[in-house]
Amino acid sequence: MDFAGAHILSIEQFERGDIDTLFRTADRMEPFAQRRRVTRVLEGAILGNMFFEASTRTRISFGSAFNLLGGEVRESVGAESSSLVKGESLRDTARVLSGYSDVICMRHPQAGSVAEFASASRVPVINGGDGSNEHPSQALLDLYTIERELQARGRHIDGLRIAMIGDLKYGRTVHSLSKLLTLYRNIRVVLVSPPELAMPEAYVEALRTAGHEVEVTESLEQSISRVDIVYSTRIQEERFQDRSQADLYRGRFRLNQAIYTRHCEPNTVIMHPLPRDSRAEANELDADLDSNPNLAIFRQTDNGLIVRMALFALILDVAHLVDQYAREVPWFNHRNR
Amino acid sequence: MDFAGAHILSIEQFERGDIDTLFRTADRMEPFAQRRRVTRVLEGAILGNMFFEASTRTRISFGSAFNLLGGEVRESVGAESSSLVKGESLRDTARVLSGYSDVICMRHPQAGSVAEFASASRVPVINGGDGSNEHPSQALLDLYTIERELQARGRHIDGLRIAMIGDLKYGRTVHSLSKLLTLYRNIRVVLVSPPELAMPEAYVEALRTAGHEVEVTESLEQSISRVDIVYSTRIQEERFQDRSQADLYRGRFRLNQAIYTRHCEPNTVIMHPLPRDSRAEANELDADLDSNPNLAIFRQTDNGLIVRMALFALILDVAHLVDQYAREVPWFNHRNR
Amino acid sequence: MDFAGAHILSIEQFERGDIDTLFRTADRMEPFAQRRRVTRVLEGAILGNMFFEASTRTRISFGSAFNLLGGEVRESVGAESSSLVKGESLRDTARVLSGYSDVICMRHPQAGSVAEFASASRVPVINGGDGSNEHPSQALLDLYTIERELQARGRHIDGLRIAMIGDLKYGRTVHSLSKLLTLYRNIRVVLVSPPELAMPEAYVEALRTAGHEVEVTESLEQSISRVDIVYSTRIQEERFQDRSQADLYRGRFRLNQAIYTRHCEPNTVIMHPLPRDSRAEANELDADLDSNPNLAIFRQTDNGLIVRMALFALILDVAHLVDQYAREVPWFNHRNR
């Protein structure tokens, strides 16, 4: 694909070469994200950060990524934005708002809304999440994290062994990640969930068609024993039609350090799309994993920043100019403490 | 008037020469609004964008206009801001907030509130809409659009023929536009509305006193047949004391391409203050007009950006410096696609 | 203390020498706050302005202070932010959000929350108010104002005579100010409140232990007659367990120009943490004091801006570089009118 001027609406637009282009650009953004250097390449450019549904961390991650390239951010959040569109078509909104900025990031609760908006926008639009449909930058930062974690262990995405755990039926992140994995070779995917929340068959089929090995199980312990990555997601009780069913699974997909030590290979990476529910009754990741160096959940959000910087740099066609507009950082660099 | 340091509270402060100054400044802002060039003349300046009532597009238009001149924007929206003033006088609020910025744009639901605020502010204040009272930048962008559309057709505001359609009783935009038109010569105004929503007599009188020809009608078809501009506004059902009256007028002021083709002169310009209600039952502009090149509604919002840039440049007295602080745009310019 | 990289969580961290460092840095910020010059020393830096509880003026004061040093601001306000933390620990939130910025200012309704957040943050955190606990920048701007007002009268904080009036039981600002005063010498403090809202004994003891003279009274007139500073705070009716008690005190702690003229020494300074309730029934400061040049309440908020600039400059270790990155202001300087 040609990134310059493109909308980023779905991970389906990416081929493997595009992912490579994006990830190698992301690598070059890291020094700026870590404030070892400052670049001003987008000085004067404006991001329209249009969150028709609240999502603090995604919104701020996009905004900071744009600031880190030197640009300005105008934004709108939640309730205010939705009142805006009372009776106004998304196309009208897009025509108007796209006159105010150079690129738009948009989140909206309705599936397909971002694509409709993009069709009338005069500037490139990045999908920041449209309901149950797509959230491409999340999938890309997950895959980028997998690549980096594997690299540090002398491995590659080709040949990956990964367990996906939790709500695989409604979990947008595991769907998108599954799709991206079909671009790679020789992968083993272990799917762990209550049967009620199993991965939809279409995703399983796509993985198998790509030549990957897919195993389905209900046993957490078994699934995590021979994988490189454990990707855990939240099970929301309200997903069960019969709430008493939820009790059956309470705690069964919760990973803690003791289980990790007993069952995982050394260096198995733990991922999670965050936020993580840290309350005792949650079916997720225990806080006692926080001192485990293989817990990659905060490296994921850090990687999100640089993947989003890379998306902006490619869409606005300045990736090759980032260093030319670079400067030294005169302030105290906390990341070097 | 002397723009430098002035509050912009009402269109009544403008004489014809002021409008000319503003519009010729706006012309010079266009290359920056279209990102053909970047200017940093206001680098380090701060706009306080104080929206005590939500209005996404007006807020973002002002904010982007300030960013396009190189300045920063601090802002406040809706509910949060109004809790701020519990028991605090507007004058106190103004004294405090005006210490934080170089210029303030303020929207507030209460008529007269912005003028009161401005009286205690230590920096210039632009009225971004104070209830039913004034919204001067909207009136100015409407008039600027009229001038530009006419120019493209070899005409001028002097000699204009315009139809104003819809809710002329409560429509703040048509009131303000009417007032501005009294600064010009030899204009023909056709007023089209249900009698319940007729233009208040004071505005009609002012137009006649200025020597203009005013015609009042209930017939859409007749009104649009020999005008340069059709300015359509929304009729809100809740404006009718007797709601059943609203049904009588449903669809009677709705313009679509078929009616346009049958009744309008070629090149008749269609305007609307937006947002446009695109639902089937709305009494406004049909989406089938979108491919009509004379539909100027999105050129209006684009013009809003450059009129607001011009207001900031004049108030902060940097209009003559904008080019001196200009740079090339290194990123992909989507407007040149 | 070493400011570089430090969290600012409580006024308890400051020794007298630290206050001096901060205030002398604040002095050097004033030309930039007044837009006599612009500095770009933090160009490229990002402030995460995280207001988990709405507070328009504190939020905008911090944001503007950071802009005035050349930095960018990403922010979050109120309801949106609190939904963010549903089930997520403050430590997780801190780990994620601190990856997006160079310094964080945080307000949160829960006492102790900002310290907990800071313990997991990878960048310095400034407490912008955590419930009933601390709001250190407010206390510092109050003390800085006292110093400046006294200086203009040829006096110093050592030797200060101050009356604190109103709700001394729950008033966070008078508690913090009392603590700071223990760092100085030879101070006379007059405490004026209903007995139900008296200053907690611990604060009184600390003042006495520091060698200060403390007088407790219920008489406004008597308390203000021989002091340099009158520091008035709001009495909220809901603080009285028996609401009828509130009526007993209505108007008894209200200061107006007539009382000031009759009882105060000339040049007695009037302070208030703002917002001031200007409604007739409020127990605070009359609007008729607004033309009294000794009313310092708006100088307080102006000083807040430069104290916050100084905090940022010291924490990010650029105080010595501010002038090196300075430029002339090309726009109309309203403060010089």
**B56 and B105 share a domain?**
yes
Instruction: Specify the pLDDT at position B282.
Output: 75
- What's the whole-number average pLDDT of chain B? 93
Q: In one letter, which amino acid is A146?
A: I
Q: What does each C-alpha distance from C223 to B89, C229, C263, C298 come to in angstroms?
A: 27, 11, 9, 23
Question: Does residue A128 form part of some domain?
Answer: yes
Q: What chain A residue is nearest to C88 in terms of C-alpha separation?
A: A277
Q: Give catalytic status of residue C58 as yes or no.
A: yes
B255-313 pLDDT, tens digit per residue, is: 999 999 999 999 999 999 999 887 777 778 999 999 999 999 999 999 999 999 999 99
**A144 and A276 share a domain?**
yes
User: Are A44 and B287 an interchain contact pair (Cβ–Cβ within 8 Å)?
Assistant: no
Chain B residues whose CB is inside 8 A of the C233 CB are none
Question: Does residue C151 form part of some domain?
Answer: yes
Which of the residues of B are catalytic? 57-58, 86, 107, 135
Question: Does residue B18 form part of some domain?
Answer: yes
Provide the domain limits for residue C264: 137-298
**B321 class by beta-carbon count within 10 Å (0-12 exposed, 13-18 middle, 19+ buried):** middle
**B184 and B310 share a domain?**
no
Whether C217 has its CB under 8 Å from any CB of chain B: the answer is no
Chain C residues whose CB is inside 8 A of the B84 CB are 56-57, 275
Beta strands in chain B (DSSP E): 37-39, 46-51, 72-77, 103-108, 125-130, 161-165, 188-192, 213-217, 229-232, 269-271, 326-328
What B148-154 contacts at long range (C-beta under 8 Å, 24+ apart), as own/partner pairs, is: B148/B299, B148/B303, B149/B228, B149/B229, B149/B269, B149/B296, B149/B299, B150/B228, B150/B229, B150/B269, B153/B228, B153/B267
Question: Does residue C22 form part of some domain?
Answer: yes
Instruction: Specify the pLDDT at position A106.
Output: 97
Q: How many CB atoms lie within 10 A of CB B1?
A: 13
Question: Does residue A260 form part of some domain?
Answer: yes
The structure's pTM equals 0.96
Is residue B172 within 8 Å of B142, Cβ to Cβ?
A: no
Comparing CA positions, the residue from A156, A114, A111 lying closest to residue A133 is A111
Q: What chain C residue is nearest to A309 in terms of C-alpha separation?
A: C100
Question: Does residue B4 form part of some domain?
Answer: no
Neighbouring chains of C at 3+ CB pairs under 8 Å are A, B
Say whether the peptide bond before residue B136 is cis (omega within 30 degrees of 0): no
User: Are C317 and A332 an interchain contact pair (Cβ–Cβ within 8 Å)?
Assistant: yes
Chain C residues whose CB is inside 8 A of the B48 CB are 60
Instruction: Specify the pLDDT at position B148.
Output: 98
A267-281 pLDDT, tens digit per residue, is: 999 999 999 888 777
User: Are C301 and B4 an interchain contact pair (Cβ–Cβ within 8 Å)?
Assistant: no
Whether B6 has its CB under 8 Å from any CB of chain C: the answer is no
Instruction: Specify the pLDDT at position A83.
Output: 52
**A151 and A205 share a domain?**
yes
C263: Cβ–Cβ under 8 A, 6 or more apart, which residues?
C221, C224, C225
Question: Does residue A26 form part of some domain?
Answer: yes
Whether A237 has its CB under 8 Å from any CB of chain C: the answer is no
Q: How far apart are CA B82 and CA C54, in angstroms?
A: 11
Instruction: Specify the pLDDT at position C79.
Output: 64
Chain B residues whose CB is inside 8 A of the A46 CB are 64, 67-68
**B98 and B193 share a domain?**
no
Whether A279 has its CB under 8 Å from any CB of chain C: the answer is yes
**What does the DSSP 8-state code read for residue B68?**
H
**B31 and B78 share a domain?**
yes
Is residue C138 within 8 Å of C129, Cβ to Cβ?
A: yes
User: Are B277 and A318 an interchain contact pair (Cβ–Cβ within 8 Å)?
Assistant: no
Whether C315 has its CB under 8 Å from any CB of chain A: the answer is yes
Beta strands in chain A (DSSP E): 37-39, 46-51, 72-77, 103-108, 125-130, 161-165, 188-192, 213-217, 229-232, 269-271, 326-328
Select from B56, B64, B68 the Cβ nearest to the Cβ of A81.
B56
- Per-residue pLDDT at B83 exceeds 60: no
Distance from CA of B214 to the nearest CA of A (A): 32
Say whether the peptide bond before residue C275 is cis (omega within 30 degrees of 0): yes
Task: Between B246 and B1, name the one with better pLDDT.
Answer: B1
User: Are C277 and B87 an interchain contact pair (Cβ–Cβ within 8 Å)?
Assistant: yes
Chain A residues whose CB is inside 8 A of the C45 CB are 35, 331
Whether C288 has its CB under 8 Å from any CB of chain B: the answer is no
Q: How many CB atoms lie within 10 A of CB C40?
A: 17
Question: Does residue B2 form part of some domain?
Answer: no
**A57 and A185 share a domain?**
no
B222: Cβ–Cβ under 8 A, 6 or more apart, which residues?
none
Instruction: Specify the pLDDT at position B278.
Output: 79
Helices (runs of H) and strands (runs of E) counted in chain A = 12, 11
- Alpha-carbon torsion angle C248, C250, C254, C259, nearest 10: -60
Select from A80, A92, A321 the Cβ nearest to the Cβ of B275.
A92
Residue of B334, B336, B337 to mutate for A, most A C-beta atoms under 10 A: B334
**A101 and A126 share a domain?**
yes
Instruction: Specify the pLDDT at position B337.
Output: 47
pLDDT band at residue B42 under the 50/70/90 scheme: very high
User: Are B93 and C275 an interchain contact pair (Cβ–Cβ within 8 Å)?
Assistant: yes
**A130 and A141 share a domain?**
no
Instruction: Specify the pLDDT at position C337.
Output: 47
Instruction: Specify the pLDDT at position C82.
Output: 57
Whether A245 has its CB under 8 Å from any CB of chain B: the answer is no
List of chain C residues with pLDDT < 70: 79-86, 334-337
What is the percent of chain B with per-residue pLDDT over 70, rounded to a whole number? 96
Whether B326 has its CB under 8 Å from any CB of chain A: the answer is no
**A151 and A279 share a domain?**
yes
Select from A40, A277, A305 the Cβ nearest to the Cβ of C88.
A277
Is residue C44 within 8 Å of C162, Cβ to Cβ?
A: no
Residue of B53, B236, B332 to mutate for A, most A C-beta atoms under 10 A: B332
Chain B residues whose CB is inside 8 A of the C72 CB are 72
CATH number, residue A319: 3.40.50.1370
- Per-residue pLDDT at B207 exceeds 60: yes
**A45 and A191 share a domain?**
no
Q: What chain B residue is nearest to C273 in terms of C-alpha separation?
A: B96
Chain B residues whose CB is inside 8 A of the A91 CB are 287, 290
User: Are C54 and B83 an interchain contact pair (Cβ–Cβ within 8 Å)?
Assistant: yes
Whether A68 has its CB under 8 Å from any CB of chain C: the answer is yes
Q: How far apart are CA B289 and CA B277, in angstroms?
A: 13
Of the residues C25, C39, C59, C107, only one is catalytic, namely C107
Q: How confident is the prediction along chain A (337 residues), in pLDDT tens digits per residue? A: 999 999 999 999 999 999 999 999 999 999 999 999 999 999 999 999 999 988 999 999 999 999 999 999 999 988 666 555 568 899 999 999 999 999 999 999 999 999 999 999 999 999 999 998 999 999 999 999 999 999 999 999 999 999 999 999 998 999 999 999 999 999 999 999 999 899 999 999 999 999 999 999 989 999 999 999 999 998 877 777 777 777 777 778 889 999 999 999 999 999 999 998 887 777 789 999 999 999 999 999 999 999 999 999 999 999 999 999 999 999 987 655 4
Whether B101 has its CB under 8 Å from any CB of chain C: the answer is yes
3-state secondary structure (DSSP) of residue C334: helix
3-state secondary structure (DSSP) of residue C307: helix
Task: Between B199 and C243, name the one with better pLDDT.
Answer: B199
Place of tokens 């600064």: B183
Cα atoms found within 13 Å of the Cα of residue A100, Cβ hemisphere only: 33
* Count of the separate structural domains present in chain C: 2
User: Are B92 and C274 an interchain contact pair (Cβ–Cβ within 8 Å)?
Assistant: yes
3-state secondary structure (DSSP) of residue B223: helix
Report ipTM for this prediction: 0.95
**C103 and C251 share a domain?**
no
Distance from CA of C96 to the nearest CA of A (A): 6
Q: How far apart are CA B195 and CA B208, in angstroms?
A: 19
